[in-house]
């Protein structure tokens, strides 16, 4: 079985992120680029499934990224994935959710797959909409927010988180699942893994390889950023020191009453 894990490369979560007012895109130069932390749970889930199946199944990492993301993708290979494909083309710059899902679906379909795993969201865009859009573009079921995954008899079965608990949901393969943070503890690459990853293949696809019929990039996107604004910063409020519980509680209650919150 071929498991494909889509990963996004994002600015380091601790970096000071900003949007270029001219291009209205996230500035990605001068900031460390890392694997989207949410995607590490999908990678770990894929590795665990592969090792449990132990039937020659493979894990392929897929990323739509500029060429400079190649070495970041190698970190996923160091975790234990078998190979990687990057889709890299200047014509993809400025792609919105729709264009991204459309292009990725074509690239994944070209390489073949039985199961696609994604993170639930990225730390830079945080929309959480890509898994569903990708599944639709691939014409497969989407089992989102999975905290446990299992494959038996050609069916993917997940425990899907809900706001109040979980559901057990299943669908026949091929299918897509997005993997939550509670699914596992992603492994750190071992020294052997890091050394081994240097020899693993990272194939490169360009737009011309995909045979797209619709435009992508800024021109083909379905959304367009018109303006950027900076909201007013929150101001420092009052500080009250409470000698004991009742005094602290009264301070909160008086404040809430002054704001008609109680």
Partner 1 sequence: MKNAVAFVEHKNGAARRSSIEALCAARAAADALGGTVHAVVAGPQAAAVAAALKAYPVDRIHVLDDAALATAGVDPQVDALESVARAAGPSLLVVANTMIGRDVGSRVAARLAAGVNADVTGITVQDGRVVCLSPKLGGTTITSCAFKNSDYGVAAIRPNVFPVDARAGAGELVTLAPSGKTYAVTVEDEVEEAAAELGVEEASVVVSGGRGMGGPEPFTGMLHDLAEAFGGAVGASRAAVDAGWISHGHQVGQTGKTISPQLYVAVGISGAIQHKVGMRTAATIVAINKDAGVPIADFADLLVVGDAFAIVPELTKLVREAKAVHA
CB of 63 to partner 1, least distance (A): 20
* Interface region with partner 1, contact rule CB under 8 A, candidates 48-56, 72-80, 87-95, 159-167: 159-167
| CA angle, 66 then 8 then 211, to 5° | 60
Closest CA to 203 of 87, 57, 34: 87
CB of 93 to partner 1, least distance (A): 16
DSSP letter at 69? G
x/- track of binding to partner 1 for residues 184-203 (CB under 8 A):
--------------------
- Joined together, the tokens standing for residue 184 give 């596992």
* 56 or 246: CB nearest partner 1: 246
Residues from 43 through 82 that contact partner 1 (CB under 8 A): none
Residues from 118 through 137 that contact partner 1 (CB under 8 A): 123-137
Q: Judged by CB under 8 A, which of 5, 103, 116, 145 binds partner 1? A: 145
* Interface region with partner 1, contact rule CB under 8 A, candidates 60-68, 106-114, 198-206, 250-258: 250-258
C-alpha 97/C-alpha 238 separation (Å) is: 42
93 binds partner 1 (CB under 8 A): no
Q: Judged by CB under 8 A, which of 35, 101, 104, 117 binds partner 1? A: 101
Long-range contacts of 128-134, Cβ-Cβ distance < 8 Å, separation of 24 or more: 129/97, 130/6, 130/97, 130/100, 130/101, 131/176, 131/178, 133/97, 133/98, 133/101, 134/6, 134/101, 134/104, 134/105, 134/108, 134/176
Residues from 6 through 35 that contact partner 1 (CB under 8 A): 13-14, 17-19, 24, 26
169 binds partner 1 (CB under 8 A): yes
Write down the residue that tokens 């264009």 correspond to.
Answer: 99
* Interface region with partner 1, contact rule CB under 8 A, candidates 1-9, 50-58, 81-89, 243-251: 243-251
Grouping H, G, I as helix, E, B as strand and the rest as coil, residue 196 is helix
229 binds partner 1 (CB under 8 A): yes
Write down the residue that tokens 């950023």 correspond to.
Answer: 225
- Joined together, the tokens standing for residue 193 give 């893994």
* 56 or 231: CB nearest partner 1: 231
C-alpha 126/C-alpha 261 separation (Å) is: 30
38 binds partner 1 (CB under 8 A): yes
Q: Judged by CB under 8 A, which of 54, 55, 199, 244 binds partner 1? A: 244
């Amino acid at each position: 079985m071929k498991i494909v894990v889509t990963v996004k490369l994002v600015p380091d979560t601790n970096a000071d992120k900003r949007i270029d007012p001219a291009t209205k895109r996230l500035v990605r130069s001068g900031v460390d680029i890392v694997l989207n932390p949410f995607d590490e749970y999908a990678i770990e889930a894929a590795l665990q499934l592969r090792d449990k199946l132990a039937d020659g199944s493979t894990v392929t990492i897929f990323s739509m990224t500029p060429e400079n993301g190649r070495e970041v993708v190698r970190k996923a290979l160091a975790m234990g994935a078998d190979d990687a494909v990057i889709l890299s083309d200047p014509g993809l710059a400025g792609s919105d959710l729709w264009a991204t899902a459309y292009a990725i679906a074509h690239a994944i379909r070209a390489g073949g797959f039985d199961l696609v795993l994604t993170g639930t969201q990225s730390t830079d865009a945080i929309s959480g909409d890509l898994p569903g859009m990708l599944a639709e573009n691939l014409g497969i079921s989407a089992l989102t927010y999975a905290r446990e995954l299992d494959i038996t008899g050609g069916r993917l079965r997940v425990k899907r988180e809900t706001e109040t608990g979980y559901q057990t949901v299943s669908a026949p393969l091929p299918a897509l699942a997005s993997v939550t943070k509670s699914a596992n503890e992603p492994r750190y690459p071992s020294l052997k893994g890091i050394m081994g990853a240097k020899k693993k293949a990272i194939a490169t696809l360009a737009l011309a390889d995909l045979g797209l019929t619709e435009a992508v990039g800024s021109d083909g996107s379905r959304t367009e950023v018109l303006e950027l604004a900076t909201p007013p910063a929150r101001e420092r409020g009052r500080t009250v020191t409470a000698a004991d519980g009742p005094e602290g509680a009264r301070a909160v209650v008086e404040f809430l009453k002054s704001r008609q919150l109680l």
